[in-house]
Amino acid sequence: MTGIETKEKNERIDLNELRLILAQQKEFKVIEIFDTINKTSGEKDVSLCENKNGKKLILRIGEMRPLNFFPNGFKGQHFIIPKIYERQEDKIPYEIEEYLQGKLVSDLDKQQSVTGKIDSQIIKKLLAAFWEFQRVARNINLEQKFEKEKILKHFDKAKSLLDNPQIIQKLIEQYGNFWNASYPSKWKFATDNLIIIPDGRIGFIDNVGAGLRYFGYDLGWLLWPRWVEMETKRFDDVKDHLQYLEQFMKQIRNTAPSQMEFKNFDNKKFWLVIFERLIGNIYDVACNTRHLNDWGMGKDGENKRKEKHLAF
């Protein structure tokens, strides 16, 4: 059975069944069931539904975004956040969310996926959304979701695969204030969790993990997922990818708003973002994280690909 265990009675609830029950109660027609339920081992479920008036909605079960994270939605110049129509915090929480029509950035940028990069025109849209989000979400009282201890936890698992763990730990400790900073972050600000709506703006979907993290955290989510997607031979061309990262850094700085705190996002801070994502990526390798299976690098993946990925 695909289900979730509740805290109260350790009872197992089948989310497929719960989806049907909620759909009947709300008079919804389930149009599409996304792969969330499989990717989370039955702990969460997301589906596209249609109400009795023909309006499309998103039904999310087993998770909900922070209550104060734009519950009425947001429509900015460069990005949109869907509104929440209904939410219930029960033993199995759920929320009914506005449906944003559009296409996943990852689907619109499949060719660049094999190179480990993002199309330059799409990057412009994503950075514009990132900077606007930093401005409008700056005063929301979100939960702190990242601090130095988290990167140390990842490092502890990853260090057996690292050549110079002592140097890396020293760097983590040295920049403790950077990791402990509190800036709004979407999580996950990645090409498979962002859409481009018909008018060209970026749509924020899956906002459950929104919180406060170090500055630039979301930018790392644009970069590191593509490292596992790229074709194997691309892992050998580190120089080419470093040039891509340099160009990406320049775009970030060139598009930053004029406020001094944003202009202070210098080269060192950009490479600290890369540094943290690299540790996270090696942590995934050390733990055989589930998503690596999708890219031929899990337990049953190709050894050559896994070795080249780790070397990269």
Per residue in 265-300, pLDDT (tens digit) is 889 999 999 999 999 999 999 998 888 988 988 777
Looking at residue 1, what is its pLDDT?
A: 42
The CA distances from residue 282 to 98, 152, 159, 288, 305, in Å, are: 36, 13, 9, 10, 14
d(CA 86, CA 88): 7
Q: What pLDDT is stored for residue 12 in this prediction?
A: 67
What dihedral angle (degrees, nearest 10) is formed by the CA atoms of 74, 145, 209, 141?
-30
pLDDT value at residue 40: 85
Q: Are 95 and 87 in contact (CB under 8 A)?
A: yes
Instruction: Identify the pLDDT of residue 265.
Output: 87
User: Whole-angstrom Cα distance, residue 166 to residue 155?
Assistant: 11
Cα separation, 201 vs 125, in Å, equals 7
Instruction: Provide φ and ψ at 50, rounded to 5°.
Output: -135, 130
The two tokens of residue 39 are: 């990717």
Residue ranges for the chain with pLDDT beneath 70: 1-12
pTM, full prediction: 0.92
